[in-house]
Structure 1
């Protein structure tokens, strides 16, 4: 996996249900490294700390490999890296193989894979239709958040060097599908509950499905 774009946002005002709200989803590529801090990317805007940022969502990654699929569906949009609100656009990121709990040296930072992105209405605002939410769920490649174990700088061209492979086989895609499936696969539920990289509150919520 290799970083091909670093992206941050300025606060942007949007209209939703008759109210004006602020969002940081309108990321733009920058020509300088970004600094990964423990709970946020430095100089990036996080409008709602309830659902973004924090130790389990310090930085969001999305795969450049999936851009052609979405460009074909939304060819009328003005495309650039950062379109999905990701801080890092990554070549070769495959959620079906990427295990939650894997730890990587990335630039001078050390990061751990934690959880998939769960889309909200702001993605629909960005794309001009809330239909993209179901499409995003169905496609099954949501990108991933990481925890920052060691703060550091990341720049275009940096590669992910695996420093510790997760002992738990749960992939980002498996967890993503588990979160949104009505009928929970108990084997996957057990994997998620036992995975220490998954946020504790999500592991606790899943226990009721056993």
Structure 2
């Protein structure tokens, strides 16, 4: 895996249900290194701290490989890296292989895979339709948030070195599909609720589905 683009956003205002709402989803590429802090990317806007930012969502990664799919669905949009709201566009990021809890060294930072991105209405506003939320869920490859274990700068071209492979874990794609599945796989649920790379509140919610 290699960083293709580092992306940050300025505060933007959108209209939702007749009201003004602020967002940091309109990220654009920066040619400069960006600093991964413990709770956010330095210089990036996080408008709603309830659902973005924080220890378990310090930085969002999305795969460059998926851009072809989304561009084909929405060819009329003004495309650039950061379009999916990611801080880091990463070549060959594969959610079907990356496990929750994996630890990587990238640039000057040490990061841990935590949880997939769950799309919200702001994502729909950016794409011009709330139908994109269902499309995103059905596609099943949502990118991943990370926890920053050691802060540091990262830049375009930096590669990811696996430092520690998570044991008894599930992949980012498996967890994402588990979150939205009507019938939830109990074996995967048990793996998820024991995984300390996930925030406790999410593990508690998943635990409620165990029969």
TM interval, short-chain normalised: over 0.9
User: Which position in structure 2 is the counterpart of 1:103?
Assistant: 103
2 CA distance for matches of 1:162 and 1:112? 10
1 CA distance for matches of 2:118 and 2:77? 22
Query: What pairs up with 1:20-35 in 2 under 5 angstroms?
Result: 20-35=20-35
Query: What pairs up with 1:41-56 in 2 under 5 angstroms?
Result: 41-56=41-56
1:124–1:131: 8 Å Cα contact kept in structure 2? yes
Give the CA RMSD over aligned residues.
Answer: 0.6
**What residue ranges of structure 2 are gaps of 5+ in the alignment?**
none
User: Which position in structure 2 is the counterpart of 1:6?
Assistant: 6
User: Which position in structure 2 is the counterpart of 1:203?
Assistant: 203
User: Which position in structure 1 is the counterpart of 2:19?
Assistant: 19
1:99–1:168: 8 Å Cα contact kept in structure 2? no
User: Which position in structure 2 is the counterpart of 1:183?
Assistant: 183
TM-score using structure 1 length: 0.99
2 CA distance for matches of 1:15 and 1:125? 8
1 CA distance for matches of 2:182 and 2:199? 21
2 CA distance for matches of 1:164 and 1:34? 24
1 CA distance for matches of 2:18 and 2:208? 37
User: Which position in structure 2 is the counterpart of 1:69?
Assistant: 69
2 CA distance for matches of 1:168 and 1:107? 27
Which range is displaced more, 73-82 or 160-169? 160-169
2 CA distance for matches of 1:168 and 1:176? 17
Moved over 3 A (4+): none
Which range is displaced more, 168-177 or 42-51? 168-177
2 CA distance for matches of 1:6 and 1:78? 18
1:64–1:89: 8 Å Cα contact kept in structure 2? yes
Aligned pairs, number: 210
Query: 1:168 Cα shift?
Result: 2.3
1:3–1:159: 8 Å Cα contact kept in structure 2? yes
Which range is displaced more, 164-173 or 44-53? 164-173
User: Which position in structure 2 is the counterpart of 1:94?
Assistant: 94
Query: 1:194 Cα shift?
Result: 1.3
2 CA distance for matches of 1:13 and 1:198? 31
User: Which position in structure 2 is the counterpart of 1:123?
Assistant: 123
2 CA distance for matches of 1:76 and 1:48? 28
Which range is displaced more, 196-205 or 84-93? 196-205
User: Which position in structure 2 is the counterpart of 1:40?
Assistant: 40
Q: State the secondary structure of the residue aligned to 2:207.
A: helix
Matched, 1:114 2:114: yes
TM-score using structure 2 length: 0.98
User: Which position in structure 1 is the counterpart of 2:80?
Assistant: 80
2:101–2:165: 8 Å Cα contact kept in structure 1? yes
